[in-house]
Amino acid sequence: MSEPQLSLVFIGLGSNLEHPVTQIKKARVAINRLERVQEVAFSSLYQSSPMGDKDQPDYINAVMAVNTNLKPIDLLRRLQQIENQQGRVREGERWTARTLDLDILLYGDQHIDIPDLLIPHYGIADRTFVLYPLYEIAPKLDIPGFGHISDLIAKIPFDGLEKMTT
Protein backbone atom coordinates (compact mmCIF):
# COMPACT_ATOMS: atom_id res chain seq x y z
CA MET A 1 0.00 0.00 0.00
CA SER A 2 1.41 3.40 -0.95
CA GLU A 3 1.96 6.30 1.44
CA PRO A 4 -0.66 9.06 1.43
CA GLN A 5 0.23 12.08 -0.69
CA LEU A 6 2.26 14.90 0.88
CA SER A 7 0.39 18.07 1.76
CA LEU A 8 1.79 21.53 2.39
CA VAL A 9 0.71 22.56 5.87
CA PHE A 10 1.13 25.91 7.62
CA ILE A 11 1.45 25.93 11.40
CA GLY A 12 1.14 29.03 13.58
CA LEU A 13 3.40 29.16 16.64
CA GLY A 14 2.88 31.48 19.59
CA SER A 15 4.19 31.90 23.14
CA ASN A 16 4.17 34.55 25.85
CA LEU A 17 5.40 32.66 28.92
CA GLU A 18 8.67 31.11 30.11
CA HIS A 19 11.08 32.64 27.58
CA PRO A 20 8.82 32.81 24.52
CA VAL A 21 11.62 32.99 21.93
CA THR A 22 13.12 29.82 23.39
CA GLN A 23 9.69 28.16 23.44
CA ILE A 24 9.20 28.89 19.72
CA LYS A 25 12.69 27.63 18.84
CA LYS A 26 12.16 24.44 20.88
CA ALA A 27 8.81 23.87 19.19
CA ARG A 28 10.40 24.22 15.75
CA VAL A 29 12.95 21.56 16.65
CA ALA A 30 10.24 19.28 18.07
CA ILE A 31 8.07 19.65 14.95
CA ASN A 32 11.07 18.84 12.78
CA ARG A 33 11.59 15.66 14.80
CA LEU A 34 8.09 14.41 14.08
CA GLU A 35 8.02 11.37 11.84
CA ARG A 36 6.62 12.09 8.35
CA VAL A 37 6.97 15.88 8.79
CA GLN A 38 9.56 17.95 6.91
CA GLU A 39 10.12 21.69 7.27
CA VAL A 40 9.76 23.73 4.09
CA ALA A 41 10.02 27.28 5.50
CA PHE A 42 10.05 29.19 8.78
CA SER A 43 9.18 32.87 9.15
CA SER A 44 10.89 35.51 11.18
CA LEU A 45 9.73 35.93 14.75
CA TYR A 46 7.17 38.67 15.42
CA GLN A 47 6.19 40.32 18.68
CA SER A 48 2.53 41.20 19.14
CA SER A 49 0.16 42.46 21.80
CA PRO A 50 -2.00 39.77 23.41
CA MET A 51 -5.59 39.19 22.34
CA GLY A 52 -8.16 39.26 25.12
CA ASP A 53 -6.77 40.15 28.54
CA LYS A 54 -4.15 42.87 28.00
CA ASP A 55 -2.68 42.21 31.45
CA GLN A 56 -0.29 39.56 30.16
CA PRO A 57 3.07 39.63 28.37
CA ASP A 58 3.35 40.26 24.63
CA TYR A 59 3.42 37.22 22.36
CA ILE A 60 6.16 35.95 20.11
CA ASN A 61 4.72 34.44 16.92
CA ALA A 62 5.95 32.69 13.80
CA VAL A 63 4.60 30.53 10.99
CA MET A 64 6.16 27.28 9.83
CA ALA A 65 5.48 25.48 6.55
CA VAL A 66 5.89 21.71 6.48
CA ASN A 67 5.25 18.86 4.12
CA THR A 68 3.52 15.90 5.72
CA ASN A 69 1.43 12.89 4.87
CA LEU A 70 0.00 12.63 8.36
CA LYS A 71 -3.77 12.92 8.55
CA PRO A 72 -4.78 16.38 9.83
CA ILE A 73 -6.14 15.03 13.13
CA ASP A 74 -2.97 12.97 13.69
CA LEU A 75 -0.82 16.07 13.11
CA LEU A 76 -3.02 18.02 15.53
CA ARG A 77 -2.55 15.38 18.24
CA ARG A 78 1.23 15.43 17.78
CA LEU A 79 1.29 19.22 17.98
CA GLN A 80 -0.77 19.08 21.17
CA GLN A 81 1.76 16.64 22.63
CA ILE A 82 4.53 19.16 21.88
CA GLU A 83 2.48 21.90 23.57
CA ASN A 84 2.01 19.69 26.62
CA GLN A 85 5.70 18.76 26.76
CA GLN A 86 6.54 22.47 26.80
CA GLY A 87 4.25 23.17 29.74
CA ARG A 88 0.98 24.16 28.07
CA VAL A 89 -1.89 24.27 30.53
CA ARG A 90 -5.38 24.19 29.04
CA GLU A 91 -7.78 26.10 31.27
CA GLY A 92 -10.66 26.32 28.82
CA GLU A 93 -10.45 30.11 28.41
CA ARG A 94 -9.40 31.64 25.10
CA TRP A 95 -6.57 34.08 24.65
CA THR A 96 -4.88 33.47 27.99
CA ALA A 97 -1.13 33.47 28.59
CA ARG A 98 0.57 30.24 27.54
CA THR A 99 3.95 28.65 27.12
CA LEU A 100 3.11 27.43 23.64
CA ASP A 101 0.26 27.52 21.16
CA LEU A 102 0.50 25.52 17.93
CA ASP A 103 -2.31 25.93 15.40
CA ILE A 104 -2.76 24.24 12.05
CA LEU A 105 -3.60 27.23 9.87
CA LEU A 106 -3.89 25.49 6.50
CA TYR A 107 -3.65 21.87 5.40
CA GLY A 108 -3.19 21.93 1.64
CA ASP A 109 -6.37 23.31 0.13
CA GLN A 110 -8.61 21.29 2.42
CA HIS A 111 -11.64 22.54 4.30
CA ILE A 112 -11.95 20.60 7.56
CA ASP A 113 -14.68 21.13 10.14
CA ILE A 114 -14.65 18.48 12.84
CA PRO A 115 -15.06 18.96 16.61
CA ASP A 116 -11.37 19.51 17.41
CA LEU A 117 -10.17 21.00 14.14
CA LEU A 118 -11.29 23.81 11.84
CA ILE A 119 -9.19 24.43 8.72
CA PRO A 120 -8.55 27.01 7.43
CA HIS A 121 -8.05 28.31 10.96
CA TYR A 122 -11.00 30.55 11.88
CA GLY A 123 -8.79 33.57 12.69
CA ILE A 124 -6.42 33.33 9.76
CA ALA A 125 -7.74 36.35 7.85
CA ASP A 126 -8.00 38.73 10.83
CA ARG A 127 -4.75 38.37 12.74
CA THR A 128 -1.66 40.35 11.86
CA PHE A 129 0.53 37.95 13.84
CA VAL A 130 -0.62 35.16 11.50
CA LEU A 131 -0.94 36.95 8.16
CA TYR A 132 2.38 38.80 8.12
CA PRO A 133 4.61 35.81 8.95
CA LEU A 134 2.52 33.67 6.57
CA TYR A 135 2.94 36.25 3.82
CA GLU A 136 6.68 36.32 4.48
CA ILE A 137 7.06 32.62 3.64
CA ALA A 138 4.19 32.23 1.13
CA PRO A 139 3.51 35.56 -0.64
CA LYS A 140 1.58 33.91 -3.50
CA LEU A 141 -0.71 31.89 -1.25
CA ASP A 142 -4.44 31.62 -1.90
CA ILE A 143 -6.26 30.85 1.32
CA PRO A 144 -9.30 28.66 0.65
CA GLY A 145 -12.48 30.59 1.36
CA PHE A 146 -10.62 33.85 2.11
CA GLY A 147 -8.72 34.77 -1.06
CA HIS A 148 -5.20 35.83 -1.93
CA ILE A 149 -2.96 36.62 1.01
CA SER A 150 -1.82 39.93 -0.50
CA ASP A 151 -5.46 41.11 -0.57
CA LEU A 152 -5.90 40.12 3.07
CA ILE A 153 -2.65 41.86 4.09
CA ALA A 154 -3.80 45.04 2.36
CA LYS A 155 -6.82 45.19 4.71
CA ILE A 156 -4.90 44.73 7.97
CA PRO A 157 -2.33 47.28 9.12
CA PHE A 158 1.03 46.20 10.52
CA ASP A 159 0.32 48.31 13.63
CA GLY A 160 1.12 46.59 16.90
CA LEU A 161 3.30 43.95 15.27
CA GLU A 162 7.07 44.08 15.46
CA LYS A 163 9.36 41.92 13.34
CA MET A 164 12.20 40.73 15.52
CA THR A 165 15.85 40.46 14.53
CA THR A 166 16.47 37.35 16.66
What mean pLDDT do residues 105-129 have?
93
Q: In the annotation, is 103 catalytic?
A: yes
Helix (H) or strand (E) holding 8: strand 7-15
Q: Which ranges constitute the DSSP H helices of 11-68?
A: 20-33
| The predicted structure's pLDDT at residue 110 | 95
Q: Which residue of the set 77, 90, 103, 142 is catalytic? A: 103
Domain 7-163 has CATH 1.10.1660.10: no
Question: Positive or negative CA dihedral for 164, 152, 9, 83?
Answer: positive
What mean pLDDT do residues 73-98 have?
84
Residue 142 has pLDDT above 70, yes or no: yes
Count of CA atoms in the C-beta half-sphere (13 A) of 15: 23
Domain boundaries, the chain: 7-163
What mean pLDDT do residues 131-143 have?
97
pTM comes to 0.93
Mean pLDDT of the chain: 91
Q: Which residue of the set 98, 113, 127, 142 is catalytic? A: 98
Q: In the annotation, is 101 catalytic?
A: yes
Residue 109 has pLDDT above 60, yes or no: yes
